[in-house]
Every structure is written in structure tokens, then in C-alpha cells.
Structure 1
Amino acid sequence: MKSRELWLMSTKQFMSHKCGRPTSSQVLTSYLKQCNEPPWTSYFVKYSSVLDDQRGWSHFNWPVSSTNYHILRTGCYPYIKYHCSRRPHQDLTLDDRFFRFIKLINLGIPCLAYGVAATMLIQHKELVQTPCGDVFVYFLYKEDKGSKY
């Protein structure tokens, strides 16, 4: 499936989602807007806090207002990890397939280890306000908002 088709599917889910837990895409968009569209950010969100409407996506474009982000996303139970970089839109289909393949051949073991380690290393959390309620996102350390690195 092309990244544009994936984005359209997610947008339809986002718009038709009845509120309960927010979707992971709602948290992603809301957090980037809440931070005034930073150059980059990296956070964790608990699986139990969201409906995972981006399951299986590893590297994709994500538009927020007039800004495009490249998103690196991985499941690292009990969290979902996002790394977001403000970048021009690119076709990330091959990258996405490559990252999925790597996760598949290593059986997700490094992702699980990362999640377990994160439970011990997380030092900061922030509240994200979404249309379907507030959700905490977690950080290994407090970020300097707006910094380029």
C-alpha cells in the first residue's frame, strides 16, 4: 500500500473515531501541535492509553498543518516509541518495508528489550490534550523544546 493511501485510511479513522481512548494518530498530531511543531521530538506512549491505528507502520510521512514529519515508529511493549523529524515529504515506502523486515527477522526481541528498559529509564512525562481525552507521553529525559538537536 502506498504511503498516501495509508495516510488517507488513518485520516478516515481519525475523523470517524468515536471517543473512548484516543488513537495513536490523534496523540501524535495533538502532541506536535501542542509543542508548536518542533524540529524533532522523541517520545513513548503506553499501548494501554491509545487505540493503535498505526499498527505495522515503521517509517512514514505525517502532515501536521503545513509541516511534514518523518515518523519512525516501533512497538516496544508496554510502549509505542515515536521519533519525529520535521522533513520534506518523501516516498518512504522502501524504508518502511525495510524496517518491518528487520523487526520480523529478529522476532521483535530487541523491541521488547527496549520497552522493558524504557520502563526503568523514563524520567519525564507530559500531558497531551486530544479530542478524546488527555494522555501522558513519556521521555527518557526532558526535551529542550525547539532545539534542533
Structure 2
Amino acid sequence: MKNIGQTRHIFYNFYNVGKPRASEVLTSYIEQCSEPPWTSYFIKYSSIVDDQWGKSHFNWKVGASNYHILRTGCFPYIKYHCTKRSHQNLDIDDIFFRGIKVLNLGLPCLAYGLAAIYLIKHTEVVKTNKGNIKIYFLYPEDKGSLY
């Protein structure tokens, strides 16, 4: 059994070599936009290492700001919705959203991801320590917008 675990670890590292972590892309994009009041984007699973797997609603500190992050897998993407807000305990919210996804077998998330393939109209590049990563939007965001 030890060999299977080692093989899986080697494959995982080989497949993800050179890819940034999802958390790095999230932080870099928010910094790149000068800590906007909100943002919402998709990122391809294949572009990153998903180090936030299993998280649905959580706090994320960037610079002087705290963000409430709503995150869901919607194959072939991960969808992030980020809102600048004060820090709150989001543990119950996270469990609630995760529970909803499990109860509905993730089918609405899959449908959203497949629909997004056709609905995405805009892309931007995020600069990370591991290179540039493309993120996707349903429409271009107004970077100075409060809503």
C-alpha cells in the first residue's frame, strides 16, 4: 500500500508542477485590482493547484482588507465571488453551503460550469510567482464600481 501512496504523490506533483495555488491567484488578483469592493471570476481547474478544496464560504485577508469568499466548483471551472467585508465567523455558513452541494449531488454546480463555457465573454491575466494565469468573467467588471 505504501507504493500506491508514493505513486499517487509523484503523479500529483508531476501534474501540478509549475502551477500556482488557487489561493495565490486569488490574492494576486485582488492586489492587482487594488483591493476592490467586490469581484467575481472563474478559473480553470487545469490552471491551478486547488489548495482551497472543500471550502465554500470563508474569510480571506489581502493587504488591509478582509474578503468574504463564496467559492464553488463548477467543472471545468472554480467560481469565486469576493466581497470586501469585516471578519466574521463563517464556519456555519461554510458547512451549510457545503451541505447543499452534497445534498443536490453537485448537479447544479456542474450545470453552471457547463453553461459558463458558453456564457463567458471576458478574460483577464493574473500575474503570479509561477507565471501568468487567465481568469474568466461573464462580462467585464467596472473596477471602480461599488456594486
**What TM-score comes out, normalization by structure 2 length?**
0.88
Residues 1-149 of structure 1: pairs in structure 2 closer than 5 A: 20-149=18-147
**What TM-score comes out, normalization by structure 1 length?**
0.87
CA separation in 2, counterparts of 1:94 and 1:61?
13
Maintained 8 Å contact 1:30/1:128:
yes
Cα distance, 1:19 vs structure 2 = 6.5
CA separation in 1, counterparts of 2:130 and 2:98?
29
Unaligned runs of 5+ in 1: 1-17
Classify 1:36/1:19 alpha carbon distance in 2 versus 1 (closer, same or farther; 3 Å): farther
Deviations 1:55-96 (A, max 9, x none): 000000000011000000000000000000000000000000
Q: Which amino acid aligns with 2:66?
A: N
CA separation in 2, counterparts of 1:19 and 1:47?
14
How many equivalent residue pairs? Answer: 132
CA RMSD after TM alignment:
1.1
Identity within the alignment, %: 66
CA separation in 1, counterparts of 2:60 and 2:128?
17
Maintained 8 Å contact 1:68/1:88:
yes
CA separation in 1, counterparts of 2:53 and 2:118?
24
